[in-house]
Amino acid sequence: MSNASLGAGAPIGEARPKGALDRFFKLSERGSSVPQEAIAGLTTFAAMAYIIAVNPAIMSQAGMDRGDLVIATALAAIFGSVMMGLTANLPLAVAPAMGSNVVFTFILVKGMGVPWQGALAMVCFTGVVFLLLSLTKLREKVAKDVPEVLKVGISAAVGAYIVFIALRGAGFVVANPGTFIAMGSLREPAVLLTLAGILVTPMLVARQVPGALILSIAVLTVIGCFVPLPNGTAITKAPSAFLALPHWPSNTFGQLDFSYMFQNFIVVLPILFYFVCAEFFSTLATVIGVTGAANLRRPDGSIPNATAAFSTDATATIVGPILGTSVVTAYIESVTGVQAGGRTGLTSITVAALFFLALFVWPVFTVIPPQATAPALVVVGVLMLQGLTRIDLGQLTNAVPVALTLLLTVLTNNLINGMAIGTLSYILLFLALGRAREISGVVWGLGVVFIAYIAVMTRLS
């Protein structure tokens, strides 16, 4: 049979031409496909959809309209995720940041009496600072020149922190007056559901079941409809509505008050410093962790399209406050999509598309309980610990920074604390051994910044 008889097909032995999506997102080059990226996007979205409900719940306590905050949250996520996918081509979803919204509401507005309009202006201003740092490639240099031991420590700390917050959110880990933390009671159905998920989900992943994580989330959510809480209600509650037509967030859009920020600059400077540090290093940790999990870092340790990635979260942090929400950042939950196969920006585009749908049906996505997402996040966190195998923990110069970064992140519930103490211990150990010349300029700079950060946060506490 001649090649001509094969019709429009490519000649035998020749690769078929790549489609536009494949060429733009480099799907084949990174060993991915459109269905694989779609599943990854679905998985990431399922793990972070809670932000649609949680962010408005927190920021509305600052006196802002809750309905407008829902729309602003989704719009900020759409903008940031689309920009990340198109410019950086990385599987990083972007949305309003947890943590910064708490500082915004409870420290700035309720604690210091800053009007929420002035607080939004402060966030926007820090976004401009982030963007300038990104365009000068300072952030990319930091990401490249941070030693491997600190990168692995950050990635492992993020993994351990994901496990902790997932178990805590699901009620599997609870506060205890004697030991600070303890396992929840196995007499509670919610704890048992989480336990079942923790045991079964890794089996699905090990068996390489397609979409294992999102399948786990979906099944546990459905089961939660029939599992009662102590108050008699089901773990998975019925949504208040299945359709919710979006509206423009007119009460929060464009309400920034820069005059307040500049008139009280000395007073708000410590918080500005906090936002800069928190966003700079949390995004750095997320980008390092996610690209590491996706095996996207180059042999020299650099991150592809790092400047575009850092510029994206900076630009999104400028746009977010204009819409009416706090700091917008790359989400560590993106690792769930990476573990589901996401390798390109098409994952981020898929997340953005789902946030667009959420503008119309967001109540449906808010019923996913923490007991359903916790097992998937536990698997993700455990997988992020695998980088420890690349480090010789028999050397104190490696073991101490890694251990302190990981443990202090979890025990203080703050990633920046872990990064700060881990970095400072790295510097002091090398000084003690007379190896100061091996400490890069970037690490010295990080040490100075972290000392200043600790000083500022000590004054705020």
pLDDT exceeds 80 at position 99 = no
Overall average pLDDT of the 344-353 stretch:
95
Higher pLDDT, 380 or 392: 392
Residue 312 carries which side chain, given as an amino acid letter?
A: T
Rounded Cα distance, 229 and 194, in Å? 13
Rounded Cα distance, 345 and 14, in Å? 27
Rounded Cα distance, 167 and 174, in Å? 9
What are the tens digits of pLDDT across the range 401-437?
999 999 998 888 777 788 889 999 999 999 999 999 9
Model pLDDT, residue 210? 62
Model pLDDT, residue 328? 92
Model pLDDT, residue 455? 81
How far is residue 313 CA from its own chain's centroid?
A: 11
Model pLDDT, residue 10? 44
pLDDT exceeds 50 at position 297 = yes
Beta-carbon contacts of 139 under 8 Å, excluding residues fewer than 6 positions away, are 133, 280, 283, 284, 306, 307, 310
Overall average pLDDT of the 262-272 stretch:
74
Model pLDDT, residue 164? 87
Q: Where does 231-323 have alpha helices with state H?
A: 258-263, 265-293, 306-323
Higher pLDDT, 450 or 224: 224
Give the pLDDT band of residue 8 (cuts 50, 70, 90). Answer: very low
* CA distance from start to end of the chain: 79
Average pLDDT, the chain: 84
Higher pLDDT, 450 or 400: 400
What are the tens digits of pLDDT across the range 106-138?
778 887 788 999 999 999 998 998 888 888 767
Q: Where are the domains of the chain?
A: 26-240+254-458
Q: Is 87 left (phi over 0), alpha (psi -120 to 50) or beta?
A: alpha
Model pLDDT, residue 460? 58
Beta-carbon contacts of 259 under 8 Å, excluding residues fewer than 6 positions away, are none
Phi, psi of 256 (to 5 degrees): -65, 135
Percent of the chain at pLDDT above 70? 90
Give the pLDDT band of residue 81 (cuts 50, 70, 90). Answer: very high
pTM: 0.67
Percent of the chain at pLDDT above 90? 29
Structure tokens of 332?
């560590």
